[in-house]
Amino acid sequence: MSLSMERFDLVVVGAGISGLSTAYHVKVDNPDMRICIVDRNPTYAQGNTARSDAAFRDVFTSKINYEMSSSSISFYRHIQFDLGFNLGMHFNGYLFLLGKEKMNSPVIKELSKTVDSKLIGKEEIKELGFITEPDREAARMMNLDEIEGGFIGKNCGIMEPDLLAAYYYSELEKMGAEFRFNTNITRLNLQPKEKLDYPGEPFIWQDKYIESVIGGGTELKAEQFFLATDVWTGPLVEPLGIDPLIQPKKVQVFQVSGPGIEMMIGKGYDSDHSIFPFTILPSPSIDLRPDPKSKSFWVSYSEKIGRSYGLEENPVADNDFYSGNLYPVLREYVPVFIESKVSSSWAGYYSMNNLDGSYVLFREMNLSILTGSSGSGIMKADSAGRLASALISGKEYAQLYSGHKITVSDLGIKNRNVDRETLII
Amino acid sequence: MSLSMERFDLVVVGAGISGLSTAYHVKVDNPDMRICIVDRNPTYAQGNTARSDAAFRDVFTSKINYEMSSSSISFYRHIQFDLGFNLGMHFNGYLFLLGKEKMNSPVIKELSKTVDSKLIGKEEIKELGFITEPDREAARMMNLDEIEGGFIGKNCGIMEPDLLAAYYYSELEKMGAEFRFNTNITRLNLQPKEKLDYPGEPFIWQDKYIESVIGGGTELKAEQFFLATDVWTGPLVEPLGIDPLIQPKKVQVFQVSGPGIEMMIGKGYDSDHSIFPFTILPSPSIDLRPDPKSKSFWVSYSEKIGRSYGLEENPVADNDFYSGNLYPVLREYVPVFIESKVSSSWAGYYSMNNLDGSYVLFREMNLSILTGSSGSGIMKADSAGRLASALISGKEYAQLYSGHKITVSDLGIKNRNVDRETLII
């Protein structure tokens, strides 16, 4: 049997966290299904999964995002603490630093009710090492808000997505799923169900399906296909007239080290915690992700206006971006950055659904597609996998690890039923 | 004063029907505003406005699309019949030919209540010249439905968008709006409000605005900019990190003539009408647009799956597409096509909002953007212009010609409030 004749029940394109989670849940529910996960990289989790901010939160304004993230976090907690498979999870919290207007906004009031959280005042924020009143001239020039208070999400923190990927991968291996790495799928092979061998097929009046996926010298046939190709979904589906419904937004991450930062990293938001919370500055909303291993902060920012949408072959972070855009702000709010240096940097992409900020999960023919994680894919990956698995299996509902049920078509196009997420960082 | 120093209150990019309608309503409401409409073509309405199916309907399932189209149709009627400015409007009706399932669907029941319409049966459909039961073998091969009945929208018909454009254009000229043709704007010039003359501006912490639009050797400055650039919006806004939220879908139109067609064109759906109704076949949903001038049908189809999204420099219609995809279906349902020939053809684009099928109208800084007409822009252009004008003027509501009020932010992103349109042809 030549390589090109291989046939599976399901081919998953993309061995990032979404593809792995989905394949895992499909395989758990359908042990006899022959599943192949194909990826262009030499192993799993080498795309945006490896380039993320590596944090989790359940602080979302939309119900669906809250349910998906809080259930996923519970499942990850179960893996790490019940099953003993370390995911590098720390519940060090998410600290949103807020100006006066946001501090008193209905969003914060509502979130205080729905998520496990606490509000802190200026004094506590100062004790954590921040300046709440930036220098007047700098504040004017850079539109910096005075920090009025902070919102701490408690069921939030940092984790290592590659370890989560390793968990799903090892379970998939045990269950007999097949992996095909170094295989860059570049084409979905659309064919009529009943071939007539006329030139110009498939015609508009023919029922169509994806017969195979092709690329890197390989052709994989399957009953069903699932794209977990994140920001690279467009180039695969647009030639077929399928809209990926997302834009790729580049996100740069800078690892910044220094003596003051090293001290700060070890300080929790209260005496029960010994790692600094993941922090979002008020405006511009720069993120600080503490990395206990390297004793540094990962500094990142996803630009609102000014950075082009689109894909580069090898996205890299630009140190001039750090020095011109991020450092001047950090210096004003977090004085330990004054004696610090960028020790490493990288860049990845967010798959942005700019219309409502939630996942889009839909099916065309025998092709299921998940896109639009919009910068919070890691923390929802388990729930997304359960939903995608339900779609692939033709189920109406997905039951999350939390027990909460979500109608699969709520995340689809035709019967889409999600409230717009306002807390996109 | 050199060309590059010209300064306006508002620059509208795109002199298609959306740009003209918007500029018209802005100028009517603000007679002193200095408006410039700029377009890459030698005159107005040379883009997709000129390539459309040139028809109008108020048959929509979503409330916002119904309100926008029915009000626009009333305004066009007013222009043609009260003001005596011919728009080539004929109320020859829209005939949806339906299989059994659709005929009995809740959508048709609901539409029968909300729009001026009537249902017709098989016999009437046969009298109009259709075959309701296609050849069994052909039907099987091509998935053709048996026609069970028809839904006729009465407040629907054909018109000439270039005449509507001419109306807005002549009124704009009278009111003193300026036009700049043969000017291909290729760049929106994003600048910080307070320039520091540091390299790397604008920084993330600077307030930004569009200082000018640049292209074709021209730079136009303005207080505000409005993009009515339809499917060409992406290349202008994506470099700034603004998502146009649409995909360009190519639509091919074939003008088909023949002795039988010539006869058929002159037959109305009842004795009060003398032009054949605009007709949509059951599945695949090919359109037949009667053209009384050339005594032909314009045949068009917007493909669901199989045709790539994306822009070509000079899109053309492909006669092989007609012969392989459209003709085999037409032959089965409309026998006059058997003796006919394609006498002309062209292609344009629909600006598809695939998430909910309605316009997206939003503002970033001093830049307002209208996209996503999704194949029904002509018939909603007047209302869209009133809404865009309200957005540009900072008003919360737009009052349509019908008197109906729409909250401007309903079509925006943050507070989007539209029900998904299901009747996209």
- Spans of all domains in chain B: 3-52+162-246+355-411, 94-154+249-349
Highest mean pLDDT among A61-65, A303-307, B387-391: B387-391
Average pLDDT of span B254-258: 98
pLDDT of residue A1: 39
By percentage, how much of chain B surpasses pLDDT 90? 92
- B-chain residues near A329 (CB < 8 A): 204-205
Question: Out of A141, A142, A241, whose CB is closest to B304?
Answer: A241
Does residue B42 sit at the A interface (CB-CB below 8 Å)?
no
Chain B CA closest to residue A421: B414
Does residue B329 sit at the A interface (CB-CB below 8 Å)?
yes
Does residue A216 sit at the B interface (CB-CB below 8 Å)?
no
Does residue B61 sit at the A interface (CB-CB below 8 Å)?
no
Tell me, what DSSP letter sits at residue A79? I
CA distance linking residue B56 with residue B174, whole number of Å: 27
Is the Cβ pair A241, B303 closer than 8 Å?
yes
Question: Out of B308, B354, B416, whose CB is closest to A239?
Answer: B308
By percentage, how much of chain B surpasses pLDDT 70? 99
Does residue A133 sit at the B interface (CB-CB below 8 Å)?
no
Tell me which residue of A12, A8, A14 sits closest to A229, measured CA to CA.
A14
Tell which A residues from 347 to 366 touch B, by Cβ distance under 8 Å. Answer: 352, 354-356, 360, 364-365
Is the Cβ pair A141, B305 closer than 8 Å?
no
Architecture per CATH, domain B3-52+162-246+355-411, reads as 3-Layer(bba) Sandwich (3.50)
User: What confidence tier does B5 reach under pLDDT thresholds 50, 70, 90?
Assistant: low
User: What confidence tier does B6 reach under pLDDT thresholds 50, 70, 90?
Assistant: confident
> Is residue B157 within 8 Å of residue B278, measured between CB atoms?
yes
Tell me the pLDDT tens digit for each residue of B177-233: 999 999 999 999 999 999 999 999 999 999 999 999 999 899 999 999 999 999 999
Tell me which residue of B350, B404, B405 sits closest to B372, measured CA to CA.
B350
Tell me the pLDDT tens digit for each residue of A128-140: 999 999 999 999 9
User: What confidence tier does A217 reach under pLDDT thresholds 50, 70, 90?
Assistant: very high
Is the Cβ pair A305, B200 closer than 8 Å?
no
- B-chain residues near A190 (CB < 8 A): 305-306
pLDDT of residue B248: 94
Chain A CA closest to residue B282: A205
Mean per-residue pLDDT of chain A: 95
Tell me the pLDDT tens digit for each residue of B79-103: 999 999 999 999 999 999 999 999 9
pLDDT of residue B1: 39
User: What confidence tier does B307 reach under pLDDT thresholds 50, 70, 90?
Assistant: confident
Is the Cβ pair B356, A416 closer than 8 Å?
yes
Average pLDDT of span B227-251: 95
CA distance B269 to chain A (A): 27
pLDDT of residue A2: 46
What per-residue string of b and e applies to A273-303 under the rule 16 or more CB within 10 Å gives b? bebbbbbbbbbbebbbbbbeebbbbbbbbbb
Does residue B271 sit at the A interface (CB-CB below 8 Å)?
no
Is the Cβ pair A356, B328 closer than 8 Å?
no
CA distance linking residue B76 with residue B92, whole number of Å: 15
Tell me the pLDDT tens digit for each residue of B117-160: 999 999 999 999 999 999 999 999 999 999 999 999 999 999 99
- A-chain residues near B135 (CB < 8 A): none
Does residue B325 sit at the A interface (CB-CB below 8 Å)?
yes
Tell which A residues from 365 to 404 touch B, by Cβ distance under 8 Å. Answer: 365
pLDDT of residue A423: 81
Chain A CA closest to residue B237: A308
Average pLDDT of span B285-312: 93
Does residue A204 sit at the B interface (CB-CB below 8 Å)?
yes
> Is residue A305 within 8 Å of residue B208, measured between CB atoms?
yes
Is the Cβ pair B324, A365 closer than 8 Å?
no
Does residue B272 sit at the A interface (CB-CB below 8 Å)?
no
Is the Cβ pair B144, A205 closer than 8 Å?
yes
User: Which of A204, A285, A320, A367 to mutate to probe the B interface, most B CBs <10 Å?
Assistant: A204
Architecture per CATH, domain B94-154+249-349, reads as 2-Layer Sandwich (3.30)
User: What confidence tier does A6 reach under pLDDT thresholds 50, 70, 90?
Assistant: confident
Pairs of residues, one from chain A and one from chain B, whose beta carbons lie less than 8 Å apart? 144
pLDDT of residue B138: 95
The alpha carbon torsion through A162, A168, A169, A175 (nearest 10 deg) reads 170
Is the Cβ pair A325, B365 closer than 8 Å?
no
Average pLDDT of span A88-113: 95
Write A196-202 long-range contacts (CB < 8 A, 24+).
Answer: A196/B141, A198/B324, A199/B324, A200/B320, A200/B321, A200/B324, A200/B325, A202/B306
Does residue B196 sit at the A interface (CB-CB below 8 Å)?
yes
CA distance linking residue A326 with residue B87, whole number of Å: 56
User: What confidence tier does B4 reach under pLDDT thresholds 50, 70, 90?
Assistant: low
pLDDT of residue A4: 53
Beta strand B157-158 with A218-227 is unpaired
Mean per-residue pLDDT of chain B: 95
CA distance B75 to chain A (A): 31
Amino acid sitting at position B172: L
CATH H superfamily, domain A94-154+248-350 = D-Amino Acid Oxidase, subunit A, domain 2 (3.30.9.10)
Tell me, what DSSP letter sits at residue A335? G
> Is residue B39 within 8 Å of residue B63, measured between CB atoms?
no
pLDDT of residue A5: 59
Tell which A residues from 282 to 321 touch B, by Cβ distance under 8 Å. Answer: 284, 301, 303-310, 320-321
Is the Cβ pair B204, A306 closer than 8 Å?
yes
pLDDT at position A113 over 80: yes
pLDDT at position A94 over 80: yes
